[in-house]
Amino acid sequence: MTEADVVILGGGPGGYAAAIRCAQLGRSVVLIDEAAVGGTCLHRGCIPTKALLHAAEVADSARTAAQFGITASFDGVDVTKLHGFKNTVVSRLHKGLTGLIAALGITVISGRGRLTGPTTVEVDGTTISGGVIILATGSAPKVPGMIQTSDRVLTSDQALELDRIPSSAIILGGGVIGVEFASLWTSLGAKVTIVEALPRLVPNEDTAISAYLERLFRRRKITAKTGALVTGVTSDDDAVHVTLESGDVLSADVLLVAVGRGPRTADLGLTEAGVQLDRGFVVTDDKLRTSVPTVYAIGDIVAGLQLAHRAFQQGLFVAEQIAGRDPEAVAELGIPRVTYCDPEIASVGLTEGAAREQYGDGVETVTYDLAGNGRSQILKASGAVKLVVDPAGTVVGVHMIGAGVSELIGEAQLLYNLGVKAAEAARFVHAHPTQNEALGEALMAVSGAPLHLHG
């Protein structure tokens, strides 16, 4: 029997962050994963998709070079090289991560683990015992019962490895994965139609952001069918056919199913060991302890935002508790959210709607259009920064859309998480010319002292 202070099931961003911090704090750690450490984020999620999205941006730059006075042309995509670029980024990061894990003396066990008691996990017939167990098994794409995946009907896992650029694609779900793939495939030459059940794209974002995105996607000739329900999916040798409740039938080369991700908690022995689940998610208290006192849960298996950086933070939070510290709990609304479609979306805190529900009519908002920002003009970035301020003048929401706005989320999340008053932040200097000035202008405007803002 192997023994360690901490046994971690799942080596994604949650599990490996917990492993690293536990080891740094002097605990012996066993990290178990049936696949490569790094999890969805490194191998099938954040990193490979963003690598492809960067390549898509290069394609768009080539296509639009003439408007900057540069002679270039977009002549096509070498899919083998495209995947080669993506895989090189992934394998370098994977090598760095495994090196770090080894240097810290963390024992990695390759195999599928199963909880067999409050302090024991079994992997391929071997029992591993720990003082504490951390569950971090992540999530997997959800596929509605009426849909069968195939070489034309893909989840994001298969879409990332597709050996061709589809000539056309239907994307089921206009959430984060849906709009990122819509953007990617459009840039690489596909004709894309998004089918979203709710009345707007990115329905978790502020309504103004959805409206901007829909307008800017229309400009890119991406079709969005919102408020649309699918009643059937069939495939033949030539295409996949998607029937909508309205009777319309859409046909395309491929269908991407992007209707959310479900927690990977089945067949792990959790219920048998007394770990309480709710609709597949592990139930935890505010310290991320499960119903079994020696078992913690972190990341996508805990209901809430399914984001790698939330998992990192939860991993650190749990590791520090195990080491006897008293870290501060993670505030869900203070976690920055970034979607890497073109235009990018970045937000933190409350939407205007949620702020009005919480604070009433005294809520103020300002929307600063990137048309007034010099750097955005140079980059030809359309979009806006929207600030939501509570009746006391405190920033309670920041919502941004436009090429490059992902890089503005650092300041935005500090404003929100530190509970800064807009008027206080407005006196700080934003370097010129940066897109960051748009945030500065919005802060000045909402404090009643706009500079570059009409009327």
Q: Specify the stretch interacting with ligand NAI by CB under 6 A; choose among 102-110, 167-175, 290-298, 437-445.
A: 167-175
Strand-pair category, 113-117 with 249-252: unpaired
Enumerate residues 6+ apart whose C-beta is below 8 A from 378: 433
User: Residue 193's closest CA among 167, 158, 161, 160?
Assistant: 167
Angle between helices 436-446 and 409-417 (to 10 degrees): 40
**Annotated catalytic residue: which of 54, 94, 309, 432?**
432
User: Residue 383's closest CA among 366, 400, 399, 408?
Assistant: 400
| Number of neighbouring beta carbons within 10 Å of residue 116 | 15
Q: How far apart are CA 415 and CA 267, in angstroms?
A: 42
Give whichever of 38 and 113 is closer to ligand NAI, judged by the CB atom: 38
Question: Read out DSSP for 161-217?
Answer: T-SS--SEEEEE--SHHHHHHHHHHHHTT-EEEEEESSSSSSTTS-HHHHHHHHHHH
Binding residues with ligand NAI: total (CB under 6 A): 24
Assess 178 for contact with ligand NAI (CB under 6 A): yes
Assess 138 for contact with ligand NAI (CB under 6 A): no
Q: Which residue is nearest to ligand NAI (CB)?
A: 175
Q: How far apart are CA 183 and CA 341, in angstroms?
A: 5
Assess 344 for contact with ligand NAI (CB under 6 A): no
230 known member of a binding site: no
Select the residue interacting with ligand NAI from 196, 320, 352, 369 (CB under 6 A).
196
Assess 260 for contact with ligand NAI (CB under 6 A): yes
Q: How far apart are CA 168 and CA 405, in angstroms?
A: 28
Angle between helices 79-103 and 46-64 (to 10 degrees): 140
Assess 259 for contact with ligand NAI (CB under 6 A): yes
145 known member of a binding site: no
Assess 252 for contact with ligand NAI (CB under 6 A): no
Select the residue interacting with ligand NAI from 198, 283, 303, 323 (CB under 6 A).
198
6 known member of a binding site: no
Give whichever of 259 and 445 is closer to ligand NAI, judged by the CB atom: 259
Active site residue 399: no
Select the residue interacting with ligand NAI from 121, 132, 134, 230 (CB under 6 A).
230
Structure tokens at 270: 């959790």
Binding stretches for ligand NAI (CB under 6 A): 144, 172-178, 180, 195-198, 203, 230, 258-261, 306-307, 338-340
Residue numbers belonging to the annotated binding site: 50, 113, 137-139, 173-180, 196, 260, 300
Which sequence positions are flagged as catalytic?
432
Residue numbers belonging to the annotated binding site for NAD(+): 173-180, 196, 260
